[in-house]
A and B are shown apart, each in its own frame.
Chain A
Amino acid sequence: MALYEASATQLLSQLESGEVTSVEVTKACLDRIRQHDSQIGAFLKVMDDKALAKAEQVDKKRKAGEPLGKLAGVPVAVKDLLCTEGEVTTCASKMLENFVPPYSSTVIKKLEEADAVIIGKTNMDEFAMGGSTENSALGKTRNPWDTSLVPGGSSGGAAACLAAQMVPLSIGTDTGGSIRQPASFCGVVGLKPTYGRVSRFGLIAFASSLDQIGPMARTAEDTALFLEAISGHDPADSTSADVACPLFSKTVDQPLEGLRIGMVKEHFGEGLDGDVEKAVREAVKVYESLGAKVVDISLPHNKYGIATYYIIAPSEASSNLARFDSAHYGHRCDEATMLAELEEEKAALTAAGDEVGLKRMDTSLIRMYRKSRAEGFGPEVKRRIMLGTYTLSAGYYDAYYLKALKVRRLIREDYDKAFKSVDLIVGPTAPNPAFAAGSKTNDPLAMYLEDLYTVTANLAGIPAISVPCGLTGSGLPVGMHMQAPALEEDRLLRAAQMFQKATDWHTKMPSL
């Protein structure tokens, strides 16, 4: 087995036994990226020198018998919206094309403490808004299974680099399904932890009450170990859960006895691709063969998930993205041109005697904001800023935002009720397998429906995982979605591991 094919767990055991060095592993990953990333476009930046220096350092420490972190010497890719001190952190936006944060996010710090080798920053939809990674302002990412297809989004780069076997571990973020849907499209494992399980400090916010950083990997075991490394209470994030972090890697191998699986009847209705449905139903049968009991349940307010999400997320985004006014950082328009245009407009309005127009004219400050933001943000980001500005504005707040908050509570209550009778809720991650690039770019609503099954976990703050569970007739991966009550990641990981021990879908990788 080539080094790039190995899982993080396998690599760690080889590193510990001295069969390989971290430098060798890192080089294998860098080679793989060099060979194939021109086709895939998973990375916005590869940090060769830093990665090799870190690998060398870890090798030295290991040789000297010094204590090492949980991920010592294992290469990790990071979605490019986690602030990394001294490294350009772009959010795949022109707005932040040259932004170098003077601080690192808590997760980056944790990865460094875990002695992981951070190999590069992965592509994504701009500010994590999108389901196909086609909204990146800095490049296209393709699906390694078929480069005419999208990898999903917004953590498209994060999923694609795993499927392309460029790296064994990759950090994603999930606001409405952004880890799980691309994991499903690329045939890898993606876990969205409980809200607050992983610190959001240094994560460039999209929708603060929904955003969560999570691990992506090819196996359940790796996912467990990775989650363990990045979780924990952070005093710098007041929404971070002040609970002890379980040792997921120690429990992942324990099968779940008497597992009760909830199947949501609403999840198997209109809009669901036949091959996807078939693969998920087969997967559930695997669990039944392992002794699980299937229970039909209902989540009556799930059907409002998308609508609720597309009010709350843009509302928060419109406010979170206000800081990109180009005054303190970020893209700024060419001021001389802007001022000249303003003068020209003024002259034209004066000549026309348009008093009203003159009165309404921007000040140079407002025009600077306006123009810089117009140039810096892509269309999807603008769409959501406008949506959010609208739903939060004085006359509409009650009708939209406040109502969405109420529905959000009902969705949570549905889950609370459901989890009284089942241990896990299982269904498809996405309604369809990876779709053709460009096929939905002109239809934002169709794109939004990609999050149909995933958004409610974010609205409820509960953990959820996508695990590869089959292939479609045309050979594309299908993801099985599993949800658990808050802080029960342990249950999700054990269930995923049970499945991966009984099947080999997770070992299927595209040939490049």
Chain B
Amino acid sequence: MSDDYEIIIGLEVHVQLATKTKLFCRCSTKFGAAPNTQTCPVCLGMPGSLPVMNREAFQLGLKTACALNLNVPRFTKWDRKNYYYPDLPKGYQISQFDLPMSEDGYLFISDPKQQFEAKKVGIIRAHLEEDAGKSMHDEAAGKADTRVDLNRTGTPLLEIVSQPDMRSPLEAKAYLNELKLILTYLGVSDCNMQEGSLRVDANVNLHIKNDGPKKIATPIVEIKNMNSFRAVERAIAYEATRQYDAWKEDGKTIGDAPKQTRGWDDQAQVTRPQREKEESSDYRYFPDPDLAPVITTAEEVEAVQQSLCELPLAIRERLHDGFGIPEYDADVIVNQGRVAVDYYEALALKTGDPKMASNWVQQDVLRVLKERDLEFEQFPISVERLTTLLKAIMDKEIDTTRAKDVFTQMLDSDKDAPAIMKEMGIEKVDDSAIDDLAREVLLANPKAVEDLKNGVQKAVGALIGQAKKKNPNIDPGTFRAKCMELVKDM
């Protein structure tokens, strides 16, 4: 990034709503079926067929709108966006044009690592539309064949358009992360980018700093084809440099060129100019005469508002304020989803040590999930069982290092910590035994005693090592304290 310019970023996110059936017919939206097996006359655009709105899709749209602080107008309608494309069987897409179902909202983004300042990103609108099909181009063997799969046509999408409020690739990524998190908490989408449930286009240009009163803006570029958040981040960073170089080269500003579409080439890590859809300049939008407008009352919106689950931002605040754990910790836990939050909360309450619970969830639990490629729901140790281990640590029945061994054992058995500790021969050593052991080791190591007397703290490490060989169950902390205490009198 450069100090010579500011990057202006707006994001358009298409979210596939988690309905079982399509937006205007009863065909399944399940991913991965054989081509053209999930179709009917309506989604194939057959002559005479008519769309009927899926109430559930509209309801999921309402839910999202409420969570993103969008206003839901009383009246919304459907429009036709007309263009020719082989994967668009009707020759138009049913979308919402001038009266979307929701508009003018916002989303807070922040970075626990403090790499940018927390901010409010405006959301212009979120509207419903149907997805198109998929064209598969097979240009192998000189045969430029295109096959069309219409399973996806008519799948409900919510298009969420942000204001150009983001100023760095990092902010863009944070926005996407937060949006995805909200959508998954709400259960309105599975947000699977590989399956196309979440698709992002980025509008990017630069405001170049100059001494004059007017800033210089470069032409806007819409970047498509990004299939991970990482790709979004990189594509924006690449595009910023490219636009700056282009401006230095040709001096073209926003007024000199229309919006261009570029595709992100993940392999080459560059954006490339993309061929526009044929005649995309004029979609000839008009109200779809086959669908009745939708009226939403204030009471309905209120009811949806009331039914919303607790959202990530609120949970973070609650964990931070209520349990006193750092914002960073709260963020890590919340990012794991609602199941992780519930797990953490229960663990914090049962152990009574929220920070310790947080450390264990963030480090040990997440490590295991990653190693074993599990979802949080699949984590094998229940809150109750993990509590028995954490209690043992708190009661100094086991030291942290050995607790990790017990933890590992617990993963593949359903025993509580005390049972496993017993099997492993771990038991609490009483104070008099520690006292005896400390005297014994100190007597055997006069050099170490000398060092400790002279304030060389690290000398105690070797003593602990020796003691552990004699009795692996000793608590290193207690043993250390005992040694320090005895040395004073020697």
A residues in contact (CB < 8 Å) with B? 81-83, 89, 91, 96, 99, 101-103, 105, 200-205, 207-209, 235-239, 315-316, 318-319, 321-325, 327-329, 363, 365-366, 369, 389, 392-394, 397, 401
Contact = CB atoms under 8 A, between A and B. Distances in A.
B284 A236 contact: no
A322 B91 contact: yes
A393 B84 contact: no
Contact of B45 (A103, A315, A328, A389): A328
B284 A201 contact: no
Contacts of B364: none
Given A239-B290, A327-B148, A401-B286, A319 B46 contact: no
B286 A392 contact: yes
Contacts of B282: 393-394
B80 interface: yes
Contacts of A365: 86, 146, 278
B50 interface: yes
Of B47, B84, B282, the most chain A CB neighbours within 10 A belong to: B47
Given A239-B290, A392-B284, A401-B286, A325 B49 contact: no
Interface in B17-52: 41, 44-52
Contacts of B50: 200-201, 236-239
Nearest to B144: A364
B481 interface: no
**Chain A contact surface mostly:** loop
B84 A202 contact: no
Contacts of A366: 84, 278
B46 A322 contact: no
27 contacts: A83-B48, A99-B47, A101-B41, A101-B47, A103-B46, A105-B48, A208-B290, A238-B50, A238-B292, A239-B290, A239-B292, A318-B284, A319-B92, A319-B286, A322-B91, A323-B91, A327-B148, A328-B45, A329-B46, A365-B278, A366-B84, A366-B278, A392-B82, A392-B286, A393-B284, A394-B281, A401-B286
Given A101-B47, A322-B82, A394-B282, 15 more contacts: A101-B48, A103-B46, A105-B48, A235-B52, A237-B50, A238-B53, A318-B82, A319-B92, A322-B84, A322-B90, A324-B91, A327-B86, A327-B89, A363-B278, A365-B86
Contacts of B285: 392, 397
B89 A323 contact: yes
B258 interface: no
A308 to B, nearest CB: 15
Contacts of B90: 322-323
Contacts of A207: 289
Name, among A319, A325, A365, the residue most crowded by chain B CB atoms within 10 Å (CB to CB). A319
B332 interface: no
A238 B291 contact: yes
A200 B289 CA distance: 12
A461 B434 CA distance: 96
A15 B286 CA distance: 50
Interface of B: 41, 44-53, 80, 82, 84, 86, 89-92, 146, 148, 278, 281-282, 284-286, 289-292
B3 to A, nearest CB: 41
Contacts of B289: 207-209, 239, 316
A397 B80 CA distance: 14
A31 to B, nearest CB: 32
Contacts of A204: 47-48
B424 to A, nearest CB: 66
Contacts of B53: 238
Give me the 4 closest cross-chain CB pairs, A-B, nearest first. Answer: A322-B91, A209-B289, A208-B289, A392-B284
B48 A202 contact: yes
Contacts of B45: 323, 328
B393 to A, nearest CB: 62
Choose among B84, B89, B289 the residue with the greatest number of A CB atoms under 10 Å from its CB. B289
B39 to A, nearest CB: 10
A203 B48 contact: yes
A99 B47 CA distance: 10
Contacts of A328: 44-46, 89
A397 to B, nearest CB: 7
Contacts of B284: 318-319, 389, 392-394, 397
Nearest to A102: B41
A329 B92 CA distance: 16
A338 to B, nearest CB: 14
Contacts of B52: 235-238
A508 B289 CA distance: 40
Nearest to A363: B278
Contacts of A329: 46-47
